[in-house]
């Protein structure tokens, strides 16, 4: 009896240890990645990198100014194309979505969120690039927007449903028509939470490479407007990393550092937003 009990205790401890080990093993790669990016990225990060255009192939020096701007441009376009439809679709699902149509919409949104990003690239390529016969920033923006759409929709729906019905009743009791009550009271109350979800979606999309490969493509110069092929940090990281040039490798690390800082800032501030809200009430 005592023996069996001790055996069970030991098993328990072993399993606990294994779980702790698992947690450690999950965290180590993150530490390694962050360390490498920080170390190698900082050495490659200089004013030239941030302000200059890439030099011709083979020459050292130059920078990725156009890629940094390009990423901001593409993310901005993604927001323009992805957030309004996402929020409106989410509003529909929250208010009127208890029908079969609503169920189908939800199902499609969930399925879309699992589609590989490269297939979204092929889709937008055949839809836009083939018809306009050139790569463009807005094609890239559309591809990223398609990736954002399901997340924004579901986030809006979930958060809207969390707003207490008593607020809607208060608005209706004041003689406000239903649609205005939804938009100006319910949606407004849910807005901080939705903003958080959107920021997280934007952070994910900012780092996407595959869909941009055949939509925004790349550009060694400045791209004006939204109708030209556009450089972006992720695509540049890829291109430079697989190239044979040492100098380009260093720039890839610097680009990774910039990208990582952007993404982490978005992520952390989104989570702080949530924590602050919960604390303040």
Subset of 41-80 contacting other proteins (CB under 8 A): none
Cβ pair 171, 185 in contact under 8 A: yes
Rounded to whole angstroms, the Cα distance separating 66 from 53 reads: 6
Residues 240-259 within binding reach of other proteins (CB under 8 A): 241-242, 249, 252-253, 256, 259
15 touches other proteins by CB under 8 A: yes
- Smaller CB separation from other proteins, 59 or 169: 169
37 makes contact with other proteins (CB under 8 A): yes
Say how far apart CA 20 and CA 22 lie, in whole Å.
Answer: 5
Q: What is the CA radius of gyration of the chain?
A: 24
Q: Report the 10 Å Cβ neighbour count for 224.
A: 9
**Using rule CB under 8 A, residue 100 touches other proteins:** no
114 is an interface residue for other proteins by CB under 8 A: yes
Kindly tell me the number of DSSP H helices and DSSP E strands found in the chain: 13, 0
CB neighbour list of residue 99: distance below 8 Å, 6 or more residues apart:
none
Q: Which residues contact 257 (CB under 8 A, 6 or more apart)?
A: 37, 38, 41, 42, 44, 45
Stretch that binds other proteins, among 49-57, 59-67, 73-81, 181-189 (CB under 8 A): 181-189
Regarding 123 and contact with other proteins (CB under 8 A), the answer is yes
Which one of 1, 2, 26, 278 is in contact with other proteins (CB under 8 A)? Answer: 26
Q: Which stretch binds other proteins (CB under 8 A): 45-53, 61-69, 147-155, 219-227?
A: 147-155
Pick between residue 58 and residue 175 the one whose CB is nearest to other proteins: 175
Q: Which stretch binds other proteins (CB under 8 A): 46-54, 56-64, 125-133, 220-228?
A: 125-133
16/276 with CB nearer other proteins: 16
- Residue-by-residue DSSP string for 44-79: H--HHHHHPPBPPTT---B--HHHHHHHHHHHHHHH
Which of these segments, 46-54, 57-65, 72-80, 150-158, binds other proteins (CB under 8 A)? Answer: 150-158
Residues 198-237 that bind other proteins (CB under 8 A): 200-201, 203-204, 206-210, 213-214, 217, 234, 237
Q: Which stretch binds other proteins (CB under 8 A): 43-51, 58-66, 73-81, 118-126?
A: 118-126
Q: How far is the CB of 173 from other proteins (least distance, A)?
A: 4
Check residue 112 for interaction with other proteins (CB under 8 A): yes
Measured N-to-C along each axis, helices 65-96 and 188-206 cross at an angle, to the nearest 10 degrees, of 140
Kindly state whether residue 264 participates in binding other proteins, applying the rule CB under 8 A.
yes
Report the Cα 227 to chain-centroid distance in Å: 23
Q: Does 7 bind other proteins (CB under 8 A)?
A: no
Q: d(Cα 87, Cα 273) in Å, to the nearest integer? A: 19
Which of 119, 132, 269, 276 binds other proteins (CB under 8 A)? It is: 119
Distance CA 151, CA 157 (A): 10
């Amino acid at each position: 009896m005592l023996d069996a009990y001790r055996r069970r205790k030991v098993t328990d401890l072993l399993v606990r240890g294994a779980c702790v080990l698992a947690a450690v093993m999950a965290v180590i790669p993150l530490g390694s990645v962050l360390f490498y990016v920080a170390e190698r990225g900082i050495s490659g990060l200089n004013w030239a990198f941030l302000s200059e255009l890439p030099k011709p192939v083979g020459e050292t020096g130059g920078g990725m100014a156009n890629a940094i701007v390009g990423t901001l441009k593409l993310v901005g376009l993604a927001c323009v194309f992805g957030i309004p439809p996402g929020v409106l679709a989410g509003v529909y699902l929250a208010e009127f979505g208890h029908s079969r149509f609503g169920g189908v919409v939800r199902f499609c949104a969930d399925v879309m969120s699992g589609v590989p990003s490269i297939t979204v690239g092929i889709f937008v390529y055949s839809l836009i690039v083939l018809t306009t016969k050139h790569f463009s920033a807005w094609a890239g923006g559309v591809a990223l927007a398609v990736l954002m759409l399901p997340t924004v929709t579901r986030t809006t729906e979930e958060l809207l449903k969390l707003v207490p019905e008593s607020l809607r009743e208060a608005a209706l009791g004041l003689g406000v028509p239903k649609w205005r009550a939804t938009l100006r009271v319910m949606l407004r109350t849910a807005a901080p939470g939705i903003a958080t979800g959107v920021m997280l979606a934007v952070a994910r999309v900012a780092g996407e490479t595959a869909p941009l490969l055949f939509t925004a493509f790349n550009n060694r110069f400045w791209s004006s407007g939204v109708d030209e092929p556009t450089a972006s940090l992720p695509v540049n990281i890829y291109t430079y990393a697989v190239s044979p040039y040492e100098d380009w490798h260093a720039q890839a690390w610097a680009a990774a550092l910039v990208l990582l800082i952007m993404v982490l800032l978005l992520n952390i501030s989104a989570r702080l937003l949530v924590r602050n809200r919960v604390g303040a009430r």
